[in-house]
Amino acid sequence: MRRKLVAGNWKMHGTRESAEKLVAAIVADFPTHCDVAVFPPFPYLVPLIEQHGAKLAFGAQDCSEHDDGAYTGDVSASMLKDTGCRYVLAGHSERRQYHHETDALIACKVVKALEHGLTPILCVGESLEEHDAGRTVDVVQRQLGKVIEHCGIAVFERVIVAYEPVWAIGTGRTASPEKAQSVHALLRSQLAQADAKIANSTRILYGGSVKPDNAAELFAENDIDGGLIGGASLKAPDFLAICAAAH
């Protein structure tokens, strides 16, 4: 049985004060029936982890593919581990789109995260154009395949996958539970071709306009093991309601 995970990606939103209030509200009503993690902007990680890290898991939205060195503006996986982070996103569609991150680069980031004891959440998903052209399967299999090829299947004992159709992120348009389930099943069977036991234990999250009113039906699907939540993770009542749906 895979335990569900609900992860809140705050992106580049909020202030230190709003971040502290949001985490305090989550911790005050902390769900124990599922795993919960939040991904604040970099500058807020340290104070939040110092105050709430014993109770709530934290993650970063990105990490460098390098260990250290002259890479202005980058943050390494070892630094994130040092702050007390448990998770890191790899290949979020906004990184792929605005920072031109390739499948190969993302695979290198997954390696660095694992080397430093972080759990990477590998994001895959097709754009609207790719979706409308019927290319969903090709795209997500290519994105996942690159990491399997580069890192080997064994890493999926620790890597979490998130299927996030780009056309559903921040748009209010969600993949139907059936559609999301079919893509999740496909990703799991791609993992199973390499190792059925690992595929069965790998958590595959869904992300893309998950809200309190659609979370339960998405999470009820066999291969949906929780959610990666953007907009709704910025409001404690909505985020907690989504967590409540993750049995």
Task: List the Cα angle 68/49/209 in 5-degree steps.
Answer: 90
Whether residue 92 lies in the annotated active site = yes
11, 17, 21: which is closest to 235 by C-alpha? 21
Q: Give the residue among 21, 20, 30 at the shortest CA–CA distance from 240.
A: 30
Choose one: 12-20, 21-29, 140-148, 163-171; the region binding ligand PEP (CB under 6 A). Answer: 163-171
Between 11 and 150, CB nearer to ligand PEP = 11
CA distances from 116 to 66, 80, 82 (A): 11, 9, 9
Q: In this chain, which residue has its C-beta nearest to ligand PEP?
A: 230
What's the rounded Cα separation, in Å, for the pair 93 and 100?
10
164 as an active site residue: the answer is yes
> Does 246 sit near ligand PEP (CB under 6 A)?
no
| Residues in contact with ligand PEP, shown as a per-residue x/- string from 6 to 45 under the rule CB under 6 A | ---x-x----------------------------------
CB of 5 to ligand PEP, least distance (A): 13
Q: Which of 91, 120, 165, 231 binds ligand PEP (CB under 6 A)?
A: 231
Residue 245 binds ligand PEP, judged by CB under 6 A: no
Give the C-alpha distances (Å, rounded to integers) separating 123 from 30, 119, 156, 206, 240. Answer: 26, 13, 13, 9, 22
Footprint of ligand PEP (CB under 6 A): 9, 11, 164, 169-170, 207-210, 228-232
Q: Which residues does the annotation mark as catalytic?
A: 92, 164
